[in-house]
Structure 1
Amino acid sequence: MFNKKAMVTLIGAGLLLQLGFADAHSVSSLDELMKLAAQDGNEITMKPGTYSAKEYLTPQRLAAVGKDVDRSKGGRPPVPVLTFGGNNNVYNLDGVTLEVDTSIYDHLPQFGYHRLLFVSGRGNLIKGLTIRYVGPQQGMNGNALTLWGDDNTLEGVRLFMHGSSPFGYGDLLGKGGGALVKLKKQSGLMIGGDHCTLKRCKVISRAFGHCFYVQGARNTVLEDCYAEGITRATSDMLRDAQGPAFEVGFKSVYENRDGRFAFTPGYRKCLTEDGFRTYSEGGPRKQKTGKTTLINCTAVNTRAGFEIIGPGEGDEMTELHGCTALGCERAYLLIFGKIKTRDCRGDTVHGPLLYLWRGSNADVELEWAGAGSDYAVHALATICGSNHRVKLTRWEAEGPAPRLPILLGYGMPMHAEMSTPILAEMASGIALINETGMPVIQSDLVKE
């Protein structure tokens, strides 16, 4: 006798659909969608249109948010708002927009890390969903979409983010402990489950938070994904006649090159966090983050285009192929080695092309694109650590390049804040191939 439940357990959503074993359902409301999202083995097609999360989240549903969260261990446990808990489902959501009014934050629990759409099930395929934020620019410390379960795939998912506070100063007022102003972030898309794939996904952020980030996940693939933030000149910030920066006298948590903890004119800050970020560990299992592969991904006007930490365990390398970073405070911040880049490029319009920081055995090839800058940029690249191979090139068709040094035997500035001094750090066994025509400045801490 055919056992569908056993079949669902054995094969994933995509193959289940191809074999014709998925139950097909058409829905036209969030109520219908969320009921099916708790089940297994369905193909769910939603009628195109805009659906309001605020209307769905009745007082009764809002009161239930966070009730099942274990708070005994402290910290910031995940607080799901809308949960896709089923396994091996196919969601056909082309033309579907989930509208999120940030005024709902006033009615959510004031603890934990809020995760608007929380995919805790495994083996799901989500296609075509758009999440768009409306309402006041206020935050709640959370993100729009989380892949918590394993073997999930997103295709063509788009997030249009706002809703953090304060907004308009990047990280100059601090974050976490020691912040000068209480910060409520709003991040985009987090991957915590193993073997997850994102294709043609997009995060447009007008909030302080990461666009795409990976925590404790293994074998993650991001292909043809796009992250975009927005920037603001520090000189423009200093003209504010009201607001949080004005109220603290334009103090900053970062020490600048004058020895002052203050906003420094002449720079360009991103008002979001990173376009693509990997953390060293985290996720549902609190494990080390494993190999991540980024293919043809693009970051524009984010704090770091790609802030990537190499795999925490084993001999695998995280790889970037065909990626581009434009208008970022730092195009590529590569940490602790075990990272390989090929056919990747970035500019220095708002900050350095590369910080290669500590660790060992990175294999980095980057092409320097774009023209000069109207803002202070102190280096093309800084390199420290051991046994790295670094090849920096410039395509002559890009035209004349600004004079920016490559700093060998130097780290990144504190917290990678550009107005902070760049200090010497140990570098040994570095194979540097410099085809940019730029000078190399070497510290006393460089060893062969």
Structure 2
Amino acid sequence: MKQIFGVLAVCIVFAACQTKTKPSETDTILVYSLTEWKQYLDKSHVRVKLQPGNYQIDEADNIRFIRITGDDAYFDLRGVRFMVDTKLFSRPDLAKSDDGNSMYCAIEVSGDRVTLEGLYIETYGDTPGRQSKNKMFNIVGEGDVLKNVEVRTTGSSPWGFGYLYGLGGGDVRKMNGIRVGYPAKDVKLLGCKVHMRAMGHAIFLQGAENTLIENCHVDGLLRTTDAILAETSGYAFDRDFYAGKGGYVEGTMIREDGKIMPGEIVSLSEDGIRMYPEYNGHKTKNTTVKNCTVTQMRRGICTGLSTSGDKVIDCVVRDCVATGYNVGNADTLINCSADAKYAEAFCVPYTNAKNAYVEMNILDSRNGMANDLLAKINGEGHHVIVKTANEDYIPSSMAIKLASWQGYGNFNKKATPLATDVVLDNETNCKVLSYPGVKDTEINSKGEIIKEAKQDQRLIIN
């Protein structure tokens, strides 16, 4: 009997502790200023509501301007707007972080099981940052949740030319949206919106595990090269309209000598939702992207650089200029949709990618420009299903291409494009071009199948 009472006592104490780690709504602390709110950012087991209103963030003592370090905390920011001065991203006097990463960011969440709900955050001013790693959010804790958070980015420089000057350590100073990075695990982004009005990625992962991105929206801006070439002053004009390099650059064709050509289109930002393969040796693993939309970005949803096999479910991508979906090793895309107005609706570009599964519904791809590629499939062991609700959505000039150089993703200039053991079910009238690198592949197509097609040398990366 004593043993039974002893066990019951332990259970009661354990239950009491568990209750304490999850404060109820009646425990909510209401604060009325940013100064008061910051006093709780390093506290655990708190539930804090900031009075709705506009709050200006123009002072900081660290390159992570706001740091949330407590565990098991809930911050109710519904009706709150943070306005972050871009000057902070160029302050050399701010203390560095102790994590070895020199990036500046507006808000960092490093505590575990932190929920931040309802914030609208934007930058103001046009002061460029000191680096290209500037971010609005950096999430590195375990079990953290961003819910119904809305981000609007500005402050990159030079603005208006996208990646024409910003790749590989170029001139652009970026302003990214939300980063989820190692040692982050089990992070959830729910109902978040990112409006990219700066060069950078909207949502991206580096070394994070088991991330869920659900009901999120990303939008950016596009610009034609005709509009750039019509400028009579500014960054491109001063360089006689020569870009950083020539050839195929992220969905845009540039003359071999680097001169910007008319008739092309540029994304002013980078990728909508993107996985990097790793961070400092820690792989990005097991990401799920569900019921999300991406419009007018460089690439829409880019899981292809992570090799763990990610899931993309019920997502819609429109008007992207490098590819709608970049698909990679063991990725699964279920009931996804994209158009091909400015770039292929999706691609499996890597010859070493294996066993991807893709269900793609082609949206209205008429009235686009600078693209005749509906989809590209390289690699081994994939099963791809392409369909559309209306055959008129796909212009007759477009094609699905297997073992092709064209489009995004051919980083190894010496590689031979291959497509092996692929099953393609093309339920559209779009033609299929099968190039010499295709082997042991089953193509079922309503549209014409052209075997041993000749590669278009003009579209090979130089």
Bin of the TM-score, shorter chain as denominator length = 0.7 to 0.9
| Contact 1:357-1:412 within 8 A present in 2 as well | no
Q: CA shift at 1:322, angstroms?
A: 0.7
Give TM-score scaled by structure 1 length: 0.85
Q: 5+ residue gaps in structure 1? A: 66-78
Separation (CA, whole Å) in 2 of partners of 1:12 and 1:135: 43
Match of 1:91 among 64, 75, 83: 75
Indicate yes or no: 2:370 matched with 1:380. Answer: no
User: Partner amino acid for 1:434?
Assistant: N
Local SS of the residue matching 2:39: helix
Separation (CA, whole Å) in 2 of partners of 1:335 and 1:379: 16
Indicate yes or no: 2:46 matched with 1:42. Answer: yes
Indicate yes or no: 2:130 matched with 1:126. Answer: no
Q: CA shift at 1:162, angstroms?
A: 0.7
Alpha-carbon spacing, 1:84–1:368, altered in 2? closer, same or farther (3 Å): same
**Which residue does 2:358 correspond to in 1?**
364
Alpha-carbon spacing, 1:268–1:424, altered in 2? closer, same or farther (3 Å): farther
| Contact 1:12-1:123 within 8 A present in 2 as well | no
Q: CA shift at 1:200, angstroms?
A: 0.6
User: Partner amino acid for 1:384?
Assistant: N
**Which residue does 2:428 correspond to in 1?**
436
**Which residue does 2:403 correspond to in 1?**
409
Separation (CA, whole Å) in 1 of partners of 2:395 and 2:436: 28
Separation (CA, whole Å) in 1 of partners of 2:391 and 2:429: 14
Local SS of the residue matching 2:266: strand
Indicate yes or no: 2:220 matched with 1:225. Answer: no
Indicate yes or no: 2:288 matched with 1:298. Answer: no
Alpha-carbon spacing, 1:295–1:11, altered in 2? closer, same or farther (3 Å): farther
User: Partner amino acid for 2:389?
Assistant: W
Indicate yes or no: 2:162 matched with 1:162. Answer: no
Q: How does 1:14-53 map to 2 (within 5 A)?
A: 16-18=22-24, 23-53=27-57
Indicate yes or no: 2:381 matched with 1:390. Answer: no
Deviations 1:187-207 (A, max 9, x none): 001112110111110000100
| Contact 1:173-1:251 within 8 A present in 2 as well | no
Separation (CA, whole Å) in 1 of partners of 2:201 and 2:307: 21
Local SS of the residue matching 2:386: strand
Separation (CA, whole Å) in 1 of partners of 2:358 and 2:116: 33
Deviations 1:53-101 (A, max 9, x none): 01xx1xxxx4x32xxxxxxxxxxxxx42210111110111100011112
User: Partner amino acid for 1:190?
Assistant: R
Q: CA shift at 1:337, angstroms?
A: 1.5
Separation (CA, whole Å) in 2 of partners of 1:327 and 1:12: 48
Separation (CA, whole Å) in 2 of partners of 1:268 and 1:194: 37
**Which residue does 1:271 correspond to in 2?**
268
| Contact 2:357-2:383 within 8 A present in 1 as well | yes
Separation (CA, whole Å) in 2 of partners of 1:332 and 1:137: 31
Indicate yes or no: 2:83 matched with 1:80. Answer: no
**Which residue does 1:287 correspond to in 2?**
282
| Contact 2:176-2:202 within 8 A present in 1 as well | yes
Local SS of the residue matching 1:17: coil
**Which residue does 2:175 correspond to in 1?**
186
| Contact 1:310-1:339 within 8 A present in 2 as well | no
Q: CA shift at 1:373, angstroms?
A: 2.7
Q: 129-138 vs 205-214, which deviates more? A: 129-138
Separation (CA, whole Å) in 2 of partners of 1:2 and 1:238: 74
Separation (CA, whole Å) in 2 of partners of 1:387 and 1:207: 38
Deviations 1:377-417 (A, max 9, x none): 03111111111111111112765634201111014546679
| Contact 1:43-1:90 within 8 A present in 2 as well | yes
Q: CA shift at 1:11, angstroms?
A: 8.1
| Contact 1:235-1:266 within 8 A present in 2 as well | yes
Q: How does 1:333-348 map to 2 (within 5 A)?
A: 333-348=325-340
Q: How does 1:191-270 map to 2 (within 5 A)?
A: 191-192=180-181, 193-256=184-247, 259-270=256-267
Q: CA shift at 1:146, angstroms?
A: 1.2
| Contact 2:176-2:198 within 8 A present in 1 as well | yes
Separation (CA, whole Å) in 2 of partners of 1:222 and 1:447: 36
Q: CA shift at 1:261, angstroms?
A: 2.1
Q: 393-402 vs 322-331, which deviates more? A: 393-402
**Which residue does 2:316 correspond to in 1?**
324
| Contact 1:51-1:96 within 8 A present in 2 as well | yes
> How many residues are aligned here?
413
Q: 5+ residue gaps in structure 2? A: 1-8, 97-101, 248-252, 441-462
Separation (CA, whole Å) in 2 of partners of 1:310 and 1:23: 44
Match of 1:102 among 65, 80, 86: 86
Deviations 1:155-187 (A, max 9, x none): 10000111101111110113233x2xx221100
Match of 2:347 among 344, 347, 355: 355
User: Partner amino acid for 1:155?
Assistant: K
Deviations 1:84-128 (A, max 9, x none): 111110111100011112133343458821121000111011110
Question: Which structure has the larger Rg over C-alpha atoms?
Answer: 2
Separation (CA, whole Å) in 1 of partners of 2:232 and 2:313: 45
Q: 33-42 vs 399-408, which deviates more? A: 399-408
Deviations 1:33-58 (A, max 9, x none): 1110111010001100000001xx1x
| Contact 1:424-1:443 within 8 A present in 2 as well | no
Separation (CA, whole Å) in 1 of partners of 2:20 and 2:340: 43
CA RMSD of aligned residues (A): 2.9
Alpha-carbon spacing, 1:402–1:330, altered in 2? closer, same or farther (3 Å): farther
Alpha-carbon spacing, 1:240–1:349, altered in 2? closer, same or farther (3 Å): same
Q: CA shift at 1:310, angstroms?
A: 6.2
Q: CA shift at 1:8, angstroms?
A: 10
